[in-house]
């Protein structure tokens, strides 16, 4: 939004040309979102506490979690406000990718809000049913997939699966693009949701993966860099760097309060929205397989649940002490911060490997 002003002012004062640079706007976007999170965080925590919007903790989980009962949750609302304000301020609003990614983020955030609201405010422990949650997630994801499919500027690239670490290796998806895109968005959203089970465990990998996707967006959106790196040029995708920067900034600001011992949880409103946001950005910049790699912690957590349920149903025995995997290590005696930081370190390693695919091909 501010770009309309700075574009005008730059005609009279050359210094305002700075705001035309994507990298500068991304830095401002991150700092704006970080500032909003840090400044509004305490007010939000106080508001949630006064409204007694506190986490209910099931007694099935590790005993250490019982102490967490009553921790204010739905803090993800602050993350979404910071992301939306910062993105609207610093991105080019005539770029349709910006509206697609904001629409998906807010749609999944709304689904999470309704679930949290029912559980925490209406005291309905079930929240919205699994079927209803999946239905609305599917509606949002399929809508985004259709919009991206029919607005593709270069279908040969934008409807193909990019194979990382190989130069110009694209597999045309055709109509399967819609199914694949749906799976990426809904899968990432629910994987982040499952991962959000320890203080800061989900938000830091979201910050790291979003930051890396921002770099991919910058490279893909720049014809010269895309050509030099041997990745597809996707005109306009560079603006995703501004969105990713706002997600990273808002996430770091939230982590200030969510770090162990957490003063606030993000709730489904945050977890579902952040996962969907990361998923749709990966689709826009054609880096779904790199997302699978960099978001490996989300994948491992989800697979651990699938394996645990399958094992229990088939053999009556559990593979892990408890799933998702972070609970398994807690029950092995690892202190919560140890589990969290080690999962963060694994994410840093996976993100660095993912970024290396920009050069190794």
Residues forming the site for ligand 57M (CB under 6 A): 55, 57-58, 60-61, 65, 68, 73, 193-194, 196-199, 258, 262, 265-268, 271, 305, 308-309, 318, 322-324, 327
The CB-of-325 to ligand 57M minimum distance in angstroms stands at 10
Instruction: Give the span between the Cα atoms of 196 and 268, in whole angstroms.
Output: 9
Q: Which residue is nearest to ligand 57M (CB)?
A: 61
The CB-of-84 to ligand 57M minimum distance in angstroms stands at 19
The smaller minimum CB distance to ligand 57M, of residues 86 and 308, is found at: 308
Q: Which residues lie closer than 8 Å to 235 by C-beta, 6 or more apart? A: 153, 221, 223
The smaller minimum CB distance to ligand 57M, of residues 232 and 251, is found at: 251
The CB-of-302 to ligand 57M minimum distance in angstroms stands at 9
The smaller minimum CB distance to ligand 57M, of residues 229 and 247, is found at: 247
The smaller minimum CB distance to ligand 57M, of residues 73 and 220, is found at: 73
The CB-of-70 to ligand 57M minimum distance in angstroms stands at 10
The smaller minimum CB distance to ligand 57M, of residues 134 and 173, is found at: 134
The CB-of-296 to ligand 57M minimum distance in angstroms stands at 18
């Amino acid at each position: 939004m501010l770009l309309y002003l700075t574009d005008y002012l730059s005609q009279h004062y050359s210094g305002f040309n700075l705001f035309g640079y994507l990298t500068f706007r991304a830095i401002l976007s991150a700092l704006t979102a970080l500032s909003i999170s840090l400044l509004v965080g305490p007010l939000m925590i106080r508001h949630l506490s006064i409204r007694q919007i506190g986490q209910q903790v099931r007694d099935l989980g590790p005993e250490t979690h019982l102490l967490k009962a009553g921790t204010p949750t739905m803090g993800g609302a602050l993350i979404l406000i910071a992301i939306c304000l910062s993105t609207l301020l610093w991105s080019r609003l005539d770029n349709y990718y910006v509206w697609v990614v904001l629409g998906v983020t807010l749609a999944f955030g709304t689904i999470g809000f309704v679930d949290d609201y029912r559980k925490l405010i209406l005291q309905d422990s079930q929240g919205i049913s699994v079927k209803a949650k999946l239905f609305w997630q599917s509606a949002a994801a399929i809508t985004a997939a259709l919009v991206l499919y029919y607005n593709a500027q270069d279908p040969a690239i934008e409807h193909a699966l990019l194979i990382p670490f190989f130069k110009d290796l694209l597999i045309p998806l055709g109509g399967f693009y819609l199914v694949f895109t749906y799976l990426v968005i809904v899968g990432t959203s629910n994987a982040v949701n499952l991962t959000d089970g320890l203080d800061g465990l989900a938000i830091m990998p979201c910050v790291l993966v979003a930051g890396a996707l921002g770099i991919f967006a910058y490279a893909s959106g720049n014809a010269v860099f895309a050509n030099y790196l041997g990745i597809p040029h996707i005109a306009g995708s560079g603006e995703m760097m501004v969105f990713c920067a706002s997600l990273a900034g808002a996430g770091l600001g939230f982590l200030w309060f969510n770090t162990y011992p957490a003063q606030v949880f993000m709730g489904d409103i945050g977890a579902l929205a952040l996962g969907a946001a990361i998923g749709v950005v990966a689709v826009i910049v054609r880096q779904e397989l790199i997302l699978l790699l960099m978001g490996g912690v989300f994948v491992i957590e989800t697979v651990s649940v699938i394996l645990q349920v399958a094992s229990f149903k088939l053999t009556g025995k559990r593979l892990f002490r408890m799933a998702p995997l972070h609970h398994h290590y807690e029950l092995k005696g690892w202190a919560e911060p140890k589990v969290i930081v080690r999962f963060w370190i694994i994410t840093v390693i996976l993100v660095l490997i993912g970024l290396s695919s920009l050069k190794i091909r």
